[in-house]
A and B are shown apart, each in its own frame.
Chain A
């Protein structure tokens, strides 16, 4: 008689290996094609990014497009200038609180967990996504430096299309004195708060499709001292989305090695197997507590023997 092979219980599955935290900021120029092109490119990769931060996302009737497997967050305005798409597996492991700084072009995400993150004492970190536009003469920027570079006692990453040219990221660019003057307060606040630029020098992030303008670096990323050591890489190696901005991938260390297991699908419980087990299940009988005198006597006997 052939013995039936014993199948392992269906509830036990290998937990997915914790991965590095990848963050992709990108300017969509309000284009659905760019949005689709970016998200479709994730399908070809082996892993999905944890956080996608969009500047100028496509908006239809105050709603943003959805993409399977991601949850979107955006400022509660008719035409949000920034948005964040978080992968569901990331959301199931960490709690994420979106915060809107009173400016529709800034979105902060507070990522926290009940256990220390990155092997440090911090239980949370913040990611700021900003889309700062400016006037033609670069005098007025829509996002003030105080919002971009706050003094925070947490690991903090600031990314976005800031429309600011930084001499450190683009050393070959000619900066006019007026431009330098208009950006000074940004650089001062950045230095005062101890932020470090993550963009490698000379690595362009924008290639103008028309005209004779030279490539530039306006998609910047900054990390404060608490986060700087946790940044693993900054890459601009993703395929183009058909727009002049190049998608960037910033990789951070794995925040937590303990991944929460997915929730059980109670509708699919294997009742056939459980039937016999539950029929034979016996609850442990309630043990009555010994009265204090018996307990004392018992202890005395035990200690005197």
Chain B
């Protein structure tokens, strides 16, 4: 699989031009502005040579005309950009309108070099944990339904083309185009992985982009920062396919509590709020005392343990190929922290579900589902 994927990626890169740094790229510049400085310099030279009031006036007018033209062109470009703004470009417009604040760089006590800083942050975000047991020998699962063209098409259709790509930098639009030209490529590469219940290590590397939390009094602690994990887009296609299959299997076997709202298709946090309001009001009507208890699971995603999740899935009757795939997906992951000055060294991650993955939400829900079922009913 890795060999085929590498060959495909190499092919795509070979036919893609490389980015170039340009010092002269001004999107608002027009051919008219290219002519104006010439006229301005010509008039200035003539004024210097002849030194008459008329010539000086012409030079002054040319100079003012040039700078006014720049200002007017910039304003016109900005107005037309705003007029043509779409939901996708809205944040770009905001970025231009308000000057971007200087990003805060981690300055952590006891971390003098970038390597030390990386170590402190990795230990905070991914607490060291004993690696899981080595993966079992791979064998094809006969029960695994074959991957279909529709499944890959649906998985690809849900992505926004501007979503941030992972370490390889390949956006969804590229895979969409590849799938449009040849429907069987993704199928050929992904089918063996589904059949074997396996997620290869090459797809498990990710970038952890560090962002500063707003409004913190000081930024001298790792807790003042958070990370978003960027996974390879190709990996996410498979993750979405498996997530769809796992959701169907979990619902069939009743592994998700009926009251579970949010992170599930058709059930949002809005539904949870309505249910709570309804329950409270219906109990208040017969003048009963009502209390609500809210729990916030701190760092929930980061503490999902693979060795606990696998038995939950297995005992819940989830097909073995899906259990095997989930175990493989969560084990032996690596993440490279990305911040200004980061050394770019990958660090092993042995605990938690990656935050940027489409299957992480579902895995977390299945992980905490026993909590729902153990709440005593009054």
Chain A interfacial positions (CB closer than 8 Å to B): 9-13, 43, 48, 61, 63, 68-69, 74, 76, 87-89, 92, 95-100, 110, 112, 114, 123-124, 154, 261-271, 273-275, 277-279, 281-284, 286, 288-289
Contacts and interface: CB of A to CB of B under 8 A. Distances in A.
Contact of B15 (A9, A114, A288): A9
Contact of B174 (A99, A154, A266): A266
A189 to B, nearest CB: 19
Nearest to B341: A97
Given A263-B169, A274-B11, A281-B182, A112 B343 contact: yes
Given A95-B343, A286-B1, A274 B15 contact: yes
5 nearest CB pairs, A to B? A97-B341, A283-B188, A286-B192, A283-B4, A264-B16
B12 A274 contact: yes
Interface string B111-139: 00111010000000000000000000010
A68 B26 CA distance: 9
B14 A11 contact: yes
Contacts of B88: none
30 contacts: A11-B17, A68-B23, A68-B24, A69-B22, A87-B21, A88-B21, A95-B114, A95-B341, A96-B340, A96-B341, A97-B339, A97-B341, A99-B105, A110-B113, A112-B341, A112-B343, A123-B343, A262-B19, A264-B17, A265-B16, A266-B169, A269-B12, A270-B17, A278-B182, A281-B11, A281-B185, A283-B4, A283-B8, A286-B1, A286-B196
B345 interface: yes
Given A68-B26, A98-B340, A275-B181, 10 more contacts: A12-B14, A96-B341, A97-B114, A97-B117, A100-B105, A262-B19, A268-B16, A269-B12, A271-B177, A271-B181
B140 interface: yes
B269 interface: no
Interface string B145-160: 0000000000000000
Query: Which of A63, A263, A264 has the most CB atoms of chain B within a 10 A radius of its CB?
Result: A264
Contact of A277 (B3, B11, B114, B196): B11
B102 to A, nearest CB: 6
A143 to B, nearest CB: 18
Contacts of B3: 284
Nearest to A63: B99
Given A95-B343, A278-B182, A266 B171 contact: yes
B173 interface: yes
A68 B23 CA distance: 5
B18 interface: yes
B107 A99 contact: yes
Given A110-B113, A271-B177, A95 B16 contact: no
Contacts of A88: 21
Contacts of A63: 99
A12 B18 CA distance: 8
Contacts of B115: 112, 123-124
A96 B343 CA distance: 9
B211 interface: no
B341 A264 contact: no
Contacts of A282: 188
Chain B interface helix/strand/loop/mixed: loop
Contacts of B22: 68-69
B341 A98 contact: yes
B310 interface: no
* Residue among A11, A68, A154, A267 with max Cβ neighbours from chain B (10 Å): A11
Given A68-B24, A95-B342, A275-B181, A283 B189 contact: yes
A97 to B, nearest CB: 2
A110 B24 contact: no
Interface centre among B99, B102, B140 (most CB of A within 10 A): B102
A74 B102 contact: yes
Contacts of B4: 283-284
A123 B262 CA distance: 46
B15 A269 contact: yes
Contacts of A265: 16-19
B89 to A, nearest CB: 15
A284 B2 CA distance: 10
A278 B185 contact: yes
B18 A264 contact: yes
B226 interface: no
B285 interface: no
Contact of B8 (A96, A99, A281): A281
A281 B11 CA distance: 10
A262 B20 CA distance: 7
B185 A100 contact: no
A300 to B, nearest CB: 21
A114 B344 contact: yes
B13 interface: yes
Contacts of A279: 181-182
Contacts of A61: 99
B25 interface: yes
Interface in B10-52: 11-26
A273 B15 contact: yes
B179 to A, nearest CB: 10
Contacts of B18: 11, 13, 261-265
A10 B173 CA distance: 19
A12 B195 CA distance: 37
Tell me which of B104, B341, B343 has the highest count of chain A C-beta atoms within 10 A of its own C-beta.
B341
